[in-house]
């Protein structure tokens, strides 16, 4: 992430960088890393579910290994939608649940992993949350990077959709969820 930000600032010297980190120890590490790499980042305490910024503040919002730890991913995505400008971009690099047997291993390990790694959900389908949320996916790529059990990663970009379209997506998601519940209860 640091090389990307350094390149962006070199290309656009007037660029203002903002970040949030709820954990005081990690926030201090982030400050030291930014200082080491001569990056001027306005780093604040905060949670993704309640971003401390005004509506339509940012041209670009970047999430990198964030959504595995947020308590309410849907709310966090709504907050990103709120602070990114209507013509802005949401960029993300997140680890997600694997398919197949690796995914089942992640399911089993996640309760312990959350305790030792700041609430990280190894088995979270962040890509599905983004696709069902208040954004239109422009691109998404699965990357075979990371160290097990925190892999694979997805990288992509999304643009905000209008509030009307977001409400429609929520209605569809609720309909799909209730259909799945109905069919599951019929199978019992």
What does the buried/exposed string (b/e) look like for 24-56 if buried means 16 or more CB atoms within 10 Å of the residue's CB?
eeebeebeeebeeeebebeeeebbbbebebeee
Coil/strand/helix, residue 59: strand
Q: What is the CATH number of the domain that holds 95?
A: 3.40.50.150
27 lies in the same domain as 77 = no
98 lies in the same domain as 9 = no
86 lies in the same domain as 146 = yes
61 lies in the same domain as 144 = yes
Q: What is the pLDDT of residue 165?
A: 58
Q: Give the global pTM.
A: 0.81
117 lies in the same domain as 39 = no
115 lies in the same domain as 38 = no
pLDDT tens digits for range 38-85: 999 999 999 999 999 999 999 999 999 999 999 999 999 999 999 999
33 lies in the same domain as 84 = no
Average pLDDT, the chain: 85
109 lies in the same domain as 29 = no
Among 11-15, 83-87, 143-147, where is mean pLDDT lowest?
A: 143-147
56 lies in the same domain as 28 = no
Range(s) of the domain holding residue 119: 52-187
38 lies in the same domain as 105 = no
Which residues are CB-contacts of 143 (< 8 A; sequence separation ≥ 6)? Answer: 152, 153, 154, 155
**What's the Cα-to-Cα distance from 175 to each of 96, 121, 169, 171, rounded to whole Å?**
24, 25, 10, 6
Count of structural domains within the chain: 2
């Amino acid at each position: 992430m640091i090389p990307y930000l350094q390149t962006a600032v070199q290309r656009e010297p007037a660029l203002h960088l903002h970040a949030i980190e709820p954990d005081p120890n990690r926030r201090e590490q982030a400050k030291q890393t930014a200082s080491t790499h001569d990056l001027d980042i306005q780093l604040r305490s905060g949670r993704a579910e309640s971003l401390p910024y005004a509506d339509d503040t940012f041209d670009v919002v970047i999430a990198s290994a964030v959504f595995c730890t947020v308590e309410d991913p849907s709310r966090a995505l709504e907050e990103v939608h709120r602070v990114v400008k209507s013509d802005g971009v949401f960029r993300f690099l997140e680890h997600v649940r694997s398919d197949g047997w690796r995914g089942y291993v992640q399911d089993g390990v996640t309760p312990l992993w959350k305790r030792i790694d700041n609430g990280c959900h190894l088995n979270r389908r962040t890509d599905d949350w983004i696709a069902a949320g208040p954004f239109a996916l422009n691109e998404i790529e699965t990357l075979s990077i990371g160290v097990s059990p925190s892999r694979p990663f997805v990288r992509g970009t999304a643009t905000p959709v209008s509030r009307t379209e977001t409400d429609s997506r929520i209605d569809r998601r609720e309909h799909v969820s209730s259909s799945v519940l109905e069919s599951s209860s019929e199978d019992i």
